[in-house]
């Protein structure tokens, strides 16, 4: 069995090889320069040079060995057995055959790893139970997307090595997202400063999530497709689950019952449109779905009656009841929710590729504040802002599950919510009063999507 990484070229995102998995992208941050005093790990990587990419990969592999030696007994009830086949670095365009007397992973030709990385396990094959990578390819990625990427590639492939010891989930999408989860758990350990050789800065976490967009399956891919990996939301949800809850959650949360948002297009017309609706239609869906959802929520969950606020799109200048530097507004006295078509929602729709669910997500944020106001809860503090993002996740779950007559879900819609939060959510004109990272915004949305209102600080 060979689990290979998705190859992200500098000019395009391409899926190379069947059964491919993830290479997570992280852009460097200008917050402070990379640490220069992280010691190099003493670990043999066959074919490695003294260059920076091999150093980063070797350091990550050493820290991964340390992490799983520490975690494996508690999580799986047995000692971790180091990879028997070892690690292999190759530059497919400059191969010295003498450096690889039995090839790389499972006896593969070093040229076969071009534009990729993979974990390999095959009975009786040479170099079985090993990780191999194209260092020239990782160099390109690191130059474009940040120095943490080689470590994330190693973490995901090491996740497959963990699966090779304890068993793989039943479906490809579960195999790949569980490896994402394991990578997230290790990344949290690194972020907490517990690793000896690897480091990640908090601002890089947003870019790690942004990078997953390039690595999702094409929108409209069936969940049952061979070598399915998952939607954007599926993959970052798995990564964040590991980051927040640790490897035990990764062990337990990837059965056949795990919900996924990936899905096939239902018709040729939907496929032709990419699942996207015209902008005016997106606005109408917004105007219909939000009051329907909150009417049902108040009736069924809060046992109260919901009065829909006035929903007012505006062109650059917010209503007089709101500050003039806001693109999303809730005015309690006027019971009014507004969104800026000119400066936010219109550009977001276009820039995200006709993303109608970005329109819906934007309007849902202040609309959730209106719901909180009717529940007698705060609307202008950090708790309220966090809650509104979480409640947008709850609303999106109902939208995704076709619980609303006004909803018309399409593949990729929930991905568009994540794109909107990561791209625009950190702007104070969109999410005011509190400084939340994109990583935090998506995590709040994810909690609401999977756990419902109970996760959203509304007194349940």
- Determine if the pTM surpasses 0.85: yes
Looking at the structure, do residues 211 and 327 belong to the same domain, yes or no? no
Mean pLDDT of the region 349-365: 94
- Give residue 135's pLDDT band: very low, low, confident or very high (50, 70, 90): very high
Question: What's the angle, vertex CA 215, arms to CA 209 and CA 216, rounded to 5?
Answer: 95
Looking at the structure, do residues 389 and 331 belong to the same domain, yes or no? yes
Mean pLDDT of the region 119-136: 95
Residue 27 has a pLDDT of 30
- The residue range of the domain holding 38 is 2-252
Q: Is residue 59 part of a domain?
A: yes
Looking at the structure, do residues 110 and 179 belong to the same domain, yes or no? yes
Q: Is residue 312 part of a domain?
A: yes
Looking at the structure, do residues 126 and 6 belong to the same domain, yes or no? yes
Q: Is residue 419 part of a domain?
A: yes
Of all residues in the chain, what percent carry a pLDDT higher than 70?
91
Tell me the residue length of the chain: 460
Residue 407 has a pLDDT of 80
Q: Is residue 338 part of a domain?
A: yes
Looking at the structure, do residues 111 and 143 belong to the same domain, yes or no? yes
Give first-to-last CA distance, the chain, whole Å: 46
Average pLDDT value over all residues in the chain: 88
Looking at the structure, do residues 286 and 202 belong to the same domain, yes or no? no
Q: Is the pLDDT of residue 17 over 70?
A: no
* Closest by CA position to 127, among listed 89, 167, 156, 162: 89
Helix 149-166 vs helix 172-191: crossing angle, to nearest 10: 120
- Please, which residues have CB within 8 angstroms of residue 396's CB and are 6 or more apart in sequence? 361, 364, 414, 417, 445, 448, 449
Alpha-carbon separation of residue 412 from 77, 115, 262, 418 (angstroms): 39, 27, 7, 10
Written as six digits, the tokens of 166 are 């304890």
Per residue in 139-155, pLDDT (tens digit) is 988 887 778 888 988 99
Per residue in 289-345, pLDDT (tens digit) is 999 999 999 999 999 999 999 999 999 999 999 998 999 999 999 999 999 999 999
Last residue of a domain, one of 252, 286, 308: 252
Q: Is the pLDDT of residue 1 over 80?
A: no
Q: Is the pLDDT of residue 162 over 90?
A: yes
Q: Is residue 259 part of a domain?
A: no
- Give residue 224's pLDDT band: very low, low, confident or very high (50, 70, 90): confident
Q: Is the pLDDT of residue 79 over 90?
A: yes
Q: Is residue 265 part of a domain?
A: no
- Give residue 40's pLDDT band: very low, low, confident or very high (50, 70, 90): low
Looking at the structure, do residues 11 and 125 belong to the same domain, yes or no? yes
Residue 39 has a pLDDT of 60
Looking at the structure, do residues 307 and 429 belong to the same domain, yes or no? yes
Alpha-carbon separation of residue 27 from 40, 267, 308 (angstroms): 22, 37, 42
256 or 349: whose pLDDT is higher?
A: 349
Looking at the structure, do residues 192 and 310 belong to the same domain, yes or no? no
Assign 3-class secondary structure to 208-240: HHHHHHHHCCCCECCCCCCCCCCCHHHHHHHHH
Q: Is residue 301 part of a domain?
A: yes
Q: How far apart are CA 269 and CA 320, in angstroms?
A: 42
Residue 107 has a pLDDT of 95
Indicate the number of domains in the chain. 2
Last residue of a domain, one of 252, 279, 307: 252
- Please, which residues have CB within 8 angstroms of residue 171's CB and are 6 or more apart in sequence? 223, 224, 228, 256
* 114 backbone φψ class: left, alpha, beta (φ>0; ψ -120 to 50): beta
In sequence order, the β-bridge partners of residue 338 are 312, 329
Looking at the structure, do residues 239 and 90 belong to the same domain, yes or no? yes
Looking at the structure, do residues 307 and 342 belong to the same domain, yes or no? yes
Per residue in 244-287, pLDDT (tens digit) is 999 999 999 998 789 999 999 888 988 888 888 999 999 999 99
Looking at the structure, do residues 221 and 278 belong to the same domain, yes or no? no
39 or 267: whose pLDDT is higher?
A: 267
Last residue of a domain, one of 191, 225, 252: 252
Q: Is residue 285 part of a domain?
A: yes
């Amino acid at each position: 069995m060979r689990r290979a990484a998705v190859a992200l070229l500098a000019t395009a995102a391409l899926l190379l090889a069947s059964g491919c998995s993830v290479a997570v992208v992280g852009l460097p941050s200008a917050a402070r320069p990379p640490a220069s005093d992280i010691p190099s790990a003493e670990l043999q990587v066959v074919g490695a040079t003294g260059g920076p990419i091999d150093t980063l990969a070797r350091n990550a592999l050493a820290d991964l060995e340390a992490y799983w030696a520490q975690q494996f007994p508690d999580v799986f009830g047995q000692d971790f057995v180091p990879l028997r086949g070892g690690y292999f670095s190759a530059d497919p365009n400059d191969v010295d055959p003498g450096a690889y007397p039995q090839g790389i992973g499972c006896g593969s030709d070093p040229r076969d790893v071009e534009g990729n990385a993979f974990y390999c396990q095959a009975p009786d094959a040479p170099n079985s139970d090993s990780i191999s990578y194209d260092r020239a390819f990782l160099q390109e990625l690191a130059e474009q997307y940040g120095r943490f990427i080689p470590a994330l590639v190693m973490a995901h492939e090491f996740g497959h090595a963990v699966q090779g010891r304890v068993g793989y989930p039943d479906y490809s999408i579960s195999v790949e997202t569980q490896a994402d989860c394991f990578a997230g758990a290790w990344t949290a350990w690194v972020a907490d400063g517990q690793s000896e050789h690897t480091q990640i800065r908090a601002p890089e976490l947003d870019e790690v999530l942004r990078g997953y967009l390039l690595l999702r399956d094409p929108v409209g891919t069936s969940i049952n497709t061979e070598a399915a990996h998952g939607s954007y939301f599926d993959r970052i949800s798995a990564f964040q689950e590991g980051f927040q809850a640790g490897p035990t959650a990764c062990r337990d949360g990837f059965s056949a019952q795990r919900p996924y948002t990936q899905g096939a297009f239902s018709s040729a017309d939907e496929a032709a449109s990419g699942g996207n609706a015209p902008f005016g239609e997106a606005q109408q869906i917004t105007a219909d779905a939000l009051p329907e959802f909150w009417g049902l929520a108040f009736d069924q969950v809060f046992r109260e009656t919901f009065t829909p606020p006035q929903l007012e799109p505006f062109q650059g200048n917010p209503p007089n009841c709101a500050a003039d530097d806001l693109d999303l507004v809730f005015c309690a006295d006027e019971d009014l929710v507004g969104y800026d078509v000119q400066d936010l929602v219109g550009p977001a729709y276009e820039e995200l590729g006709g993303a109608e669910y970005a329109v819906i997500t934007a309007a849902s944020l202040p609309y959730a504040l209106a719901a909180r106001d009717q529940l007698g809860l705060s609307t202008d503090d950090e708790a309220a802002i966090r809650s509104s993002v979480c409640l947008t996740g709850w609303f999106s779950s109902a939208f995704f599950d076709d619980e609303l007559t006004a909803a018309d879900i399409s593949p990729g819609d929930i991905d568009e919510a994540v794109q909107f939060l990561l791209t625009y959510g950190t702007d104070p004109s969109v999410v005011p009063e509190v400084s939340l990272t994109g990583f935090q915004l998506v995590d709040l949305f994810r909690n609401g999507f999977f756990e419902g209102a109970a996760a959203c600080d509304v007194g349940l």
